[in-house]
Every structure is written in structure tokens, then in C-alpha cells.
Amino acid sequence: MNRMTDRLFGLFLLGLAAVFGGAGWGIVAPFSYDPLGPRPYPLLLAAVLAVMAIWMLLKPQEVKLPGGRVLGQAGLLIATLVFYQMTFRWLGFILSTIIAVMLIARLFKGSWLQGLLTGVGLALACYGLFNTLLEIPLPAGTIFAGNGG
């Protein structure tokens, strides 16, 4: 039964690779800012995903499914990442990153203080990296702009 689950998941991933590759093939950039353009990256990812899916189909492994506690933690982690994505522009990169890292730290049994310190350090380091070195502006947050939207 577990090997069948692995094969079904491999089949799902193969279909996902086909959809991803098809979407990547349709990318047309109005201008090219590098010699390759944006098309090869999704096609490369689709190819790697297809190879891994075929490997899962041909060599399924015995899978021990996690218990309810682990599935609950995985659900909370997904909810935290959805929260992060939903509040990214509104709260800004720094504040939403600090909150997300604090919540993830709690999932992995860290204290609130450890999560806060890690979140502040990670948010400030990434903000500095992107804004200063890579010159990619990250959102400061519309909540701080005064109009709330």
C-alpha cells in the first residue's frame, strides 16, 4: 500500500512537471535583461521535477506516514507561510518576517525570545542584503504609509 502511495505521488509530480513545463514554455519576455531570458528556468525546474517523479514511479520506497502531531505541525507551518504571504505587503517585509519566524520557532519548540531574536536578525540581514547589495527593494508595509492600503 505504501509503495502504491509513492507511485501515485510520483504520477502527481509528473503531471505537475508537465503543467509547469507547459506554463514555462509559454513565457515570452517583451525584453531580455540577460542572455537566456526567463524561459529556461521554469523549463529546467520542470525537467528536474520530471526526472524525480519518474524515479519515484520506478523505485518506490516504503513510506511510514507521520502521526497526527506531525501532521498538525505541518498544517500550522503551512498556515504560517500563508499568513506570511498574505501580510507581506501590508505589514512589510521586516515585520511579517519577524512574526513568521517567531511562529515557526515556536513550532520547533523554541522560546518566544529565541524566535524574536532570530526573526529580528534574519529580517534585518535579509532586508539589508536585498536593498543594499542586490538593489531589490522589499516592501516597507502599507500599514506604515498612513493610508492603510
Instruction: Please give the pLDDT value at position 147.
Output: 53
Q: What is the mean pLDDT of residues 13-20?
A: 96
**What was the pLDDT predicted at 67?**
83
Contact 77, 83 (CB under 8 A): no
Q: CA-CA distance, 34 to 130, in Å (whole number)?
A: 19
CA distances from 17 to 4, 118, 145 (A): 20, 35, 41
Residues 42, 27: contact at Cβ < 8 Å? yes
Residue of 19, 11, 5, 14 lying closest to 49 (CA atoms): 14
* pTM given for the model: 0.61
Confidence of residue 121 (pLDDT cuts 50, 70, 90): very high
Q: Which amino acid is at 39?
A: R
